[in-house]
Structure formats: C-alpha cells, structure tokens
C-alpha cells in the first residue's frame, strides 16, 4: 500500500502542569506524549516535511502518516481487553523499573507477554544481562511469566533477524527503546505463528497502547502491517545478510569461521537451538538406574549421557522432577559435569573452588567425595545461590564472598590439594542458554577476558601444593581463552604440567566447554 505524505504540526505545551508534546497528522488522531520522557523524541520529524518515513523494501521512501494510511487494527481480542485504567508504562529511560509496572492488559493475553518481553529485550539491548532483566519482571503468575520469557528468549536467540527487518521498514532507530523492542518481540511471534499474523499484530498494537500513553500505537500498527505485506521479499533478502542468517554478530561469525573452518555452521546451529534439560543425579543419594526408573514412572523419558548425566526428552519445571527438593538431582549441562569428573576429588582433600557461583560444580565436587571445600565468589548475590544449592543437596562447604586473586584477604596459608578455576569468560559456548550474550559481548571482550583469566591463573597457582592439581575451565569456544591461554601459562610456569585437555564443542547433548588439568611438579 502506498501511503501519502502528510504534514505534521508539532507543538510543545511547556510550562503547563501537564507538560506535553503533541503532534497532529492530517486525518489522524493527535499524538501526545509527556515531556517528562527524557529519551523520547517525536516519532515524526518535527520540521517539514513531516511524517514517519518508513523504508520501503525496494528503498523507495514512502511517507506513511501515523495511523490512518493503514487499515486500523481490528478491535483487540477479548483476551487483550483492558481490565484497569490505562497507565503510562516505560519511557525508555528505565526499562527495568518499567518492567515491574503492572499493565492494564489481561494477564494471559499475548499482548501482555509481548509487552513484558519488550521490557526485557529493551533492558538487554541497553546492556543488562537477561538474568537481571528477567528478575526485574514483577512476580506475575507462572504462566504469564513463562509466556513472556519464551518470547524474550526467542527474540534474542533470533539475533539479527528482527533488526534486519526493522532496518528496512524504518529509516532510523526508534527513539523509544521499548517500542522498538516490542516490534522485535512481535516479529519473533510472527515468525513462530505465521498462521495467526493479524491476531498477533492486533495484540502488539494493544501492547503498544501501554507504552508512552499509546503514542506509538499507530506506528506499531503501520510497521507490522507493512511487514506482513512485504514478508516474502524481506525473508528472501534476509538470506544475503550474514548476521540475520546465522543469528550471531558478524565479528563472532568471523572468529568461528577462522577457528573452525570445517564445522562452524554446526556450532552456529547449536548456538541458535533450544537447549536440552540435563540432570545430574546425586549418586550419594540414589543410583542412576533407580532415578531413571523414577523418571520413567513420572512420565519423563530421558537419555543417559554418561557419568551422572541424564538428558530429558523434553524440559519440565523443576518441581516436577522426582526428589528435586530433596537434593536427589540437580540441573546441570553434561559438559559442565565434566569439571568435577576431571578434577576427581579424593576423600580428605583440601579443595578450593575459586569462582564457584552459582555453585553447579561446587555441589558436584561434594557429591563425588568427602572433601574439605572452600568455595569463593566475588559476587555476593550469586554466592547466595551457592548456599541455597548446597542446602537443598544437604552438602557442606565453606562459602565466602571474596576476590580469589586477593589471597591475603582470605587464605590461611595452607596449600590446596586441588583447585577448580572455573574462570569468567565470554560464555560463547553456552549461547543457546544465554542468548543475551549475542547482544552484550563485544569482540574486545575476548582479549579482556583472556587477560583476566591469565591473572587468575597466576594468582591461584601459588596456592596449590607441589603435586596438586588445578583444573582450568571455561565455557568459551574461542582459543584465546582456552588452549592459547594454557600454552602461555605453561611458558610462564615451567613447574606446571599439562595432565589432560578436553575441548567440548557445543553439540545437542552438551554446551561448549574447555578444560585443562594441570599438575604442579614436586
């Protein structure tokens, strides 16, 4: 559809108690927004020629007036009907605070899940981690929360696709972060529900009504309907865009291509897939066979992956797992379970878990042997989760919030028999579980993490007794953090011997990990 140019009248009512901007487009409703929205700029150019310029797919610039050039969205479905008086939610400056605000939409509506997902996506795009962004969602009922999470995860996993489409439908970044995030969330839902496209668009427009007093309802409607009209051509064009096709940042793809010329497409594919739910059976409490049997009785078929790892055929809520609350089982990727197996703690040993939170490997070490374990982490919030995990498992360690590189602050001078150094890294091997890192990581982070890792190694090594073992671990696939890091360390420390090295590239059954088991010469 060709939209006609419109003339916009922008005015600013300053100094008044209400303090609003307003904008009138020919034949359209007046669009108003509060001046208090510091980040907000009118979606339409104020100076003539005014009108929202949307990129047409063939680069023919069309002027599309705010609302009426496109068929108005049909009335919201009953599930999206307003249940309370509209409130302003989200102004782009404080997405996390806004994420906690209640909307007026029905909690079980698609509109509500799109809106919630938009808050989360906007927060991630502004630099917050997905975990933090999700925590800021108000404690909705589990179904509402799960629906929003699914949209947020799915949208982030499809890195590059939504952005590709928006670049072609909008001539510039929208000045309102959550509205742009709402468009990304909706494009994801349109991808998974192409059969219900018009219902999805209606719901998105209802969600837009909850942002900035509904100022962008027309824009959201226009962009999404424009997308539906051009969908086939856009999807065809997307095939030429590397980031959209492979759903990873260009720098990341270039590195994978260089390092893994034969298998990089598979690695990318695994990174974009849904992760399995893998369990670690607590062999102190139950045998593997008995637990497999109790899963079977609960209607939860699984596959044995070796060691204590069982991969469920389909993910479920943890409270459905037999004996979860009693510590019979933990959630842990099969690749992560290799850490304790490689370090092989022995009864009576004094072990340091230098970067322990949230404690997945801490629990596993304690399940394998009666050891004296000191578990440190620099992050106090994450450290609390270690204590919760150990409590559930009925296991005991000394857990402290501490910087493991500042040993003068916490070390009693007694050398350790074994050290687990599960160091901070780019997490490029676990991107299917943490799709936000596609947005958060920069190429320069690889070197930054590598420098931090070499400092950690250098500071931890003197705490190991002669003959003791240190297991270096990352969940990265970049060599600078892995083999190259260890090669450089062995040059710096001639007294260190490499006992074993294991590089697990991401596969359906496990995430990507790197392990190097080192021994200190006697």
Ligand X SMILES: C[S@@+](CC[C@H](N)C(=O)[O-])C[C@H]1O[C@@H](n2cnc3c(N)ncnc32)[C@H](O)[C@@H]1O
- Annotated catalytic residues are 475
Residue number with CB closer to ligand X (208 or 376):
376
Closest approach of ligand X to the CB of residue 271, in Å: 17
CB 164 within 8 A of CB 241: yes
Tell which positions 262-301 bind ligand X, by CB under 6 A.
Answer: none
Binding mask 298-337 for ligand X (x = CB under 6 A): ----------------------------------------
Using CB atoms, what's the residue nearest to ligand X?
Answer: 355
Q: Which is it for strands 302-306 and 9-13: parallel, antiparallel or unpaired?
A: unpaired
**Measured from the CB of residue 399, what is the shortest distance to ligand X in angstroms?**
12
Structure letter (DSSP) for residue 326: T
95 or 360, CB closer to ligand X?
360
Candidate list 26, 34, 175, 424; residue touching ligand X; CB under 6 A: 424
The residue among 69 and 474 lying less far from ligand X, judged by its C-beta, is: 474
In contact, 249 and 438? CB cutoff 8 Å: yes
If DSSP codes are grouped into helix, strand and coil, which group holds residue 167?
helix
* Least distance to ligand X, CB of residue 208, Å: 37
Angle at 304 (CA atoms; ends 298, 309), nearest 5 degrees: 90
Q: Which is nearer to ligand X, 263 or 396 (CB)?
A: 396
Expressed in angstroms, the distance from the first to the final Cα of the chain is 78
Please give the Cα distance from 5 to 503 (Å, whole number): 59
Which of 119, 118, 10, 25 shows the shortest CA–CA distance to 63? 25
Nearest to 124 by CA among 101, 146, 153: 153
Q: Mask: binding to ligand X, 31-70, rule CB under 6 A, as x and -?
A: ----------------------------------------
Q: How many of the chain's residues bind ligand X (CB under 6 A)? A: 17
- Number of helices (H), then strands (E), in the chain: 18, 16
Distance of closest approach, residue 450 Cβ to ligand X, in angstroms: 14
Helix axes 177-192 and 161-169, enclosed angle (nearest 10): 120
What is the H or E stretch that residue 280 is in? strand 278-281
Residue whose CB is less far from ligand X, 187 or 423: 423
Q: Compute the least distance from the CB of residue 236 to ligand X, in Å.
A: 41
CB of 459 to ligand X, least distance (A): 8
Nearer to ligand X, 178 or 481 (CB): 481
- Give the span between the Cα atoms of 34 and 89, in whole angstroms: 12
User: Rounded to whole angstroms, how far apart are CA atoms 435 and 428?
Assistant: 10
For residue 458, how many C-alpha atoms fall within 13 Å in the half-sphere facing its CB?
11
Site string for ligand X, 395-414 (x = CB under 6 A): --------xxx---------
**Shortest Å distance, C-beta 489 to ligand X:** 17
CA distance 488 to 480: 10
Query: Between residues 200 and 365, which has the closer beta carbon with respect to ligand X?
Result: 365
From residue 521, how far is each of 122, 128, 455, 516 by CA, in Å? 51, 43, 20, 16
Task: Give yes or no for residue 382 binding ligand X (CB under 6 A).
Answer: yes
Task: Decide whether 217 or 364 has the Cβ nearer to ligand X.
Answer: 364
At closest approach, how far in Å is the CB of 504 from ligand X? Answer: 15
In whole angstroms, the minimum distance from the beta carbon of 371 to ligand X comes to 16
Spell 31-70 as b/e; 16+ CB within 10 A means b.
bbbeeebeebebbbbeeeebbbbbbbbeeeebbbbbbbbb
Identity of the residue, 162 or 359, whose beta carbon is nearer to ligand X in the bound complex:
359
> 395 burial class (0-12, 13-18, 19+ CB within 10 angstroms)?
buried
Q: Is 323 exposed, middle or buried (0-12, 13-18, 19+ CB in 10 A)?
A: middle
Of 160 and 358, which has the nearer Cβ to ligand X?
358
Of 351-380, binders to ligand X (CB under 6 A) are: 355-361, 376-379
What's the DSSP call for residue 105? S
Helix (H) or strand (E) holding 500: strand 496-504
Q: Residue 491 and residue 113: Cα distance in Å, rounded? A: 53
Q: Provide the minimum distance between the beta carbon of 264 and ligand X in the complex, in angstroms, as a whole number.
A: 24
Q: Are 109 and 199 in contact (CB under 8 A)?
A: no
Interacting residues with ligand X (CB under 6 A): 355-361, 376-379, 382, 403-405, 422, 424
């Amino acid at each position: 559809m060709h939209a006609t140019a419109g003339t916009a009248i922008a005015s600013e009512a300053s100094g008044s108690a209400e303090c609003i901007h307003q904008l009138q487009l020919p034949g359209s409703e007046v669009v108003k927004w509060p001046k208090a929205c510091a980040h907000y700029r009118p979606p339409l150019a104020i100076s003539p020629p005014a009108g929202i310029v949307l990129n047409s797919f063939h680069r023919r610039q069309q002027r599309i007036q705010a609302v009426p050039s496109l068929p108005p969205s049909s009335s919201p479905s009953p599930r999206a009907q307003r249940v309370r008086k509209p409130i302003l939610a989200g102004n782009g400056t404080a997405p996390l605070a806004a994420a906690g605000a209640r909307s007026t939409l029905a909690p079980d509506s698609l509109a509500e899940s799109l809106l919630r997902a938009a808050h989360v996506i906007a927060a991630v795009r502004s630099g917050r981690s997905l975990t933090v962004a999700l925590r800021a969602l108000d404690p909705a009922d589990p179904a509402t929360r799960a629906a929003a999470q699914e949209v947020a995860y799915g949208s982030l996993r499809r890195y590059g696709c939504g952005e590709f489409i928006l670049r072609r439908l909008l001539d510039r970044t929208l000045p309102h972060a959550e509205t742009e995030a709402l468009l990304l969330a909706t494009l994801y839902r349109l991808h998974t529900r192409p059969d219900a496209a018009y219902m999805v668009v209606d719901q998105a427009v209802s969600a837009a009504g909850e942002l900035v007093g509904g100022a962008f309802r027309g824009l959201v409607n226009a962009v999404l309907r424009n997308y539906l009209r051009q969908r086939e051509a856009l999807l065809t064009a997307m095939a030429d865009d590397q980031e959209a096709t492979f759903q990873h940042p260009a720098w990341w793809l270039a590195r994978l291509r260089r390092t893994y010329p034969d298998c990089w497409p598979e690695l990318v594919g695994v990174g974009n897939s849904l992760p399995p739910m893998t369990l670690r059976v607590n062999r102190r409490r139950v045998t593997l066979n008995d637990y497999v049997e109790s899963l079977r009785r609960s209607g939860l078929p699984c596959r044995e992956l070796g060691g204590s790892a069982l991969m469920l055929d389909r993910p479920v809520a943890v409270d459905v797992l037999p004996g979860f609350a009693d510590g019979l089982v933990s959630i842990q990727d099969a690749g992560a379970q290799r850490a304790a197996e490689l370090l092989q703690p022995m009864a009576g040993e004094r072990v340091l878990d230098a970067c322990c939170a949230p404690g997945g490997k801490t629990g596993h070490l304690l399940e394998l042997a009666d050891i004296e374990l000191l578990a440190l982490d620099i992050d106090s919030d994450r450290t609390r989760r270690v204590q919760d995990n150990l409590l559930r498992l009925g296991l005991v360690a000394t857990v402290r919030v501490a910087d493991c590189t500042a040993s003068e602050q916490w070390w009693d001078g007694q050398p350790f028999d074994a050290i687990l150094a599960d160091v901070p890294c780019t997490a490029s091997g676990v991107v299917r579980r943490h799709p936000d890192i596609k947005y958060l990581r920069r190429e320069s982070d690889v070197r930054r993490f590598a420098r931090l890792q070499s400092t950690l190694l250098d500071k931890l090594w003197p705490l190991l007794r002669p003959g003791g073992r240190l297991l270096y671990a990352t969940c990265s696939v970049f060599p600078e953090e892995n083999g190259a890091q260890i090669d450089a360390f062995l040059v710096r420390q001639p007294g260190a011997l490499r006992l074993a090295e294991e590089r697990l590239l991401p596969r359906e059954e496990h995430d990507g990990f790197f392990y190097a088991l080192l021994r200190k010469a006697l």
